[in-house]
Amino acid sequence: MKNNVYIETYGCQMNFADTELVMGILKSKGYKLAKDIDEANIILLNTCSIRDNAEQKIYSRLDHLKGVKKNNPDAVIGILGCMAERLRKNLIEEKKIVDLVVGPDEYRRLPEFIDLAYGGEKGIGVKLSRTETYDDIIPYREDGLSAWISVMRGCDKFCTYCVVPFTRGRERSRDLNSIVEEVKSLELRGFKEVTLLGQNVNSYSFEEKDFADLLASCAKAAPSMRIRFTTSHPQDLSDKLLNTIAEYENICNYIHLPVQSGSNRILELMNRTYTIEHYLNLIDKARKIIPNVSFSTDIIAGFPTETDEDHLATLEVMKKVRYDGAYMFKYSPREGTKAFQMKDDVADEIKTRRLNEIIDLQQKISWEINQSLIGKEETILIESLSKKSDEFYSGRTDSNKICIVPRNDSYNIGDYIKVRINRATSATLFGEPI
Ligand code: 5AD
Ligand code: SF4
């Protein structure tokens, strides 16, 4: 039972990628990965701080883990990730069952902290680094079809609402060659798709190479794989990158481009460093350069001082861009950020109403876009059996939409196939192979 680790991951894809790093580090030191929490004596939660509700989820999980600790007093319970970085030793003081707290740049020292915890001491590692990229660590991945690779860490943008620069530190990029090698080895293992991850991938920079160079190198190195990437910042999305996406067949024509708000006044208060006019021009330009490009976005409802007029401007932008999908949130004040000093003056009922209007509009747009795909051809990667029926496969289009097709002996999970769409809801396409 000793040295059996169980990790639960919360938050963004970065955190899921970090969990694979942590597993890589621990496996190399002889730890075993438990499939089930009951088999584990080391339980780690890789946590998110982006909004208050993300943290509340962890607190209730910790309350539940009290029972585990009661049954197994020797169990080590650790908090990793953004909450570890944000709350540091307060977490250990407030939550007595927590034995170690390790932030995103100190994962190499995790085995050391676990040893301390075995000796009854509490371990805290929350130093942020300007250079740590875990370049030499091979993440532990189960066999599969899709993988993510973090190509940079941290963020220097300092959007006024966001904790990430504080929890993940300054921006730094990984060695391009090591990323390309990792993509190649994933292809050899049979992976079919990789997503390059960073808080702001467009500011990737390694020796003289930028993100467009990195994407092109990955696309060339693994021609049988689909290459995706996230997240792009509207200020840094270059023409060169758009041309690169257009040039390579295996780079998905899909850009996640968070707008956050449609009001220039709010964008300025958010320190987003672009105007809505710049943003819309960028969308137009991308559509010219990349035929069939689709977009998704992030939107925050109820930022301090947001008026109904600002909110209407956000709805207007959604109507103009017609996003394929959106992640939509209520503003949540985060201690330590610049916006935290502003009064959180939009009442919760108003935030909820605005958020619901945003969600309803997006649902309507997604439905309309999906209806317009009926009769069209799409290439999908078959990922799994459909959740609802073994008679169907579930796959994904280039633009990341789920597409259900009948199961058939002529294709299998892991194949790319061409389908014609014959039915659609706002969230799902249904197709027939051609
Ligand atoms: N409140 C609400 N949403 C936030 N996001 C980041 N910080 C906050 C916050 N304090 C959203 C942004 C970002 C996404 C990852 O989370 O939309 O793009
Ligand atoms: Fe990811 Fe941000 Fe949450 Fe950290 S706070 S896990 S970077 S979404």
Q: How many CB atoms lie within 10 A of CB 189?
A: 11
Query: Are 406 and 431 a contacting pair, CB within 8 Å?
Result: no
Are 303 and 338 in contact by the 8 Å Cβ rule? The answer is: no
∠ at Cα 223 (220, 225), nearest 5°?
120
Q: Note whether 389 and 368 are same-domain residues.
A: no
**Within a domain: residue 87?**
yes
Q: Which of 90, 125, 160 is the last residue of a domain?
A: 125
Question: Which strand ranges, in their side-by-side order, compose the sheet holding 254-256?
Answer: 254-256, 294-301, 325-330
Question: Do residues 382 and 361 both lie within one domain?
Answer: no
Neighbours of 341 (CB within 10 A): 10
For residue 130, is it within any domain?
no
Task: Count each helix (H run) and each strand (E run) in the chain, helices first.
Answer: 13, 21
Determine the residue of 161, 197, 230, 266 to mutate for testing ligand 1's pocket, defined as the one with the most ligand atoms within 8 A of the Cβ atom.
161
Condensed to tens digits (0 to 9), the pLDDT of residues 159-182 reads 999 999 999 999 999 999 999 999
CB 159 within 8 A of CB 271: yes
- Does 162 carry a binding-site annotation? yes
Ligand closest to 260 (CA) is 1
Please give the pLDDT value at position 95. 86
Ranges under pLDDT 70 in the chain: 1
- The answer to whether residue 131 sits within a structural domain is no
In a domain, 133, yes or no: no
Ligand 1 pocket test: which of 13, 53, 162, 332 has the largest number of ligand atoms within 8 Å of its C-beta? 162
Q: Which two tokens stand for residue 208?
A: 């003289």
User: In the prediction, which pLDDT does 341 show?
Assistant: 98
Q: Which-ligand-closest: CA of 199?
A: 2
Give the pLDDT confidence score for residue 15 in this predicted structure: 97
* 205 plus 223 within the same structural domain: yes
- Pairing outcome for strands 402-406 and 392-397: antiparallel
Q: Is 331 in the pocket of ligand 1 (CB under 6 A)?
A: yes
288-308 exposure pattern, b = at least 16 Cβ within 10 A, e = fewer: ebbeebbbbbebbbbbbebee
In a domain, residue 43? The reply is yes
Indicate whether 274 and 384 sit together in one domain. no
Q: Which atom of ligand 1 is nearest to the CA of 50?
A: 7
Closest CA to 215 of 279, 151, 146: 151
Ligand with minimal distance to 340 CA: 1
Same domain, 120 and 149: no
pTM (predicted TM-score): 0.96
CA of 383 to the centre of ligand 1 (A): 29
pLDDT of residue 2: 76
Residues in the chain: 434
- Across the strands, what pairs with 194? 147, 227
Asked whether residue 120 falls in the same domain as residue 52, the answer is: yes
Q: Say whether 12 counts as a known binding-site residue.
A: yes
What is the rounded CA–CA span in Å between residue 30 and residue 187? 27
Residue pair 103/84 in contact by the 8 Å Cβ criterion: yes
For residue 218, say whether it is annotated as part of any ligand binding site.
no
| 356, 381: one domain | no
Tell me the sheet residues that pair with 101: 79, 124
Between the CA of 255 and the centroid of ligand 2 the distance, in Å, is 20
Examine the domain organization and report whether 319 and 422 are in the same domain: no
Q: Given this model, what pLDDT does residue 1 score? A: 54
Hey, which residues does 255 pair with through a beta bridge? 295
Q: CATH no. for residue 203?
A: 3.30.750.210
CATH number at 386 reads 2.40.50.140
Q: Are residues 105 and 204 in the same domain?
A: no
Instruction: Using the 3D structure, point to which of 354, 372, 390 is the last residue of a domain.
Output: 372
- Is there a single domain that holds both residue 248 and residue 275? no
Contacts of 93 (CB under 8 A, 6+ apart): none
Domain match, 328 and 391 both? no
Beta bridge partners of 291: none
CATH code of the domain in which 342 resides: 3.30.750.200
Same domain for 118 and 165: no
| Residue 51 CB–ligand 1 contact under 6 Å | yes
Handedness of CA 370, 354, 311, 55 (dihedral sign): negative
| Structural domain for 208, as ranges | 141-252
User: Has residue 134 been placed in a domain?
Assistant: no
Residue 377 bridge partners (DSSP): 420
Asked if residues 85 and 170 have their Cβ atoms less than 8 Å apart, the reply is: no
State if residue 303 touches ligand 1 by the CB under 6 angstroms criterion.
no
Using DSSP's 3-state secondary structure scheme, residue 263 falls into coil
Q: Which of 252, 273, 293 is the last residue of a domain?
A: 252
Q: How far apart are CA 398 and CA 271, in angstroms?
A: 32
Q: How far apart are CA 95 and CA 335, in angstroms?
A: 19
- State the total domains in the chain: 4
Which pLDDT score is estimated for 357?
98
CA 25 to CA 22: how far, in whole Å?
Answer: 5
Q: Is residue 259 part of a domain?
A: no
Q: Whose CA is nearest to atom 8 of ligand 2?
A: 12
6 Cβ below 6 A of ligand 1: no
- CATH number of the domain residue 35 falls in: 3.40.50.12160
- Gyration radius of the chain's alpha carbons: 22
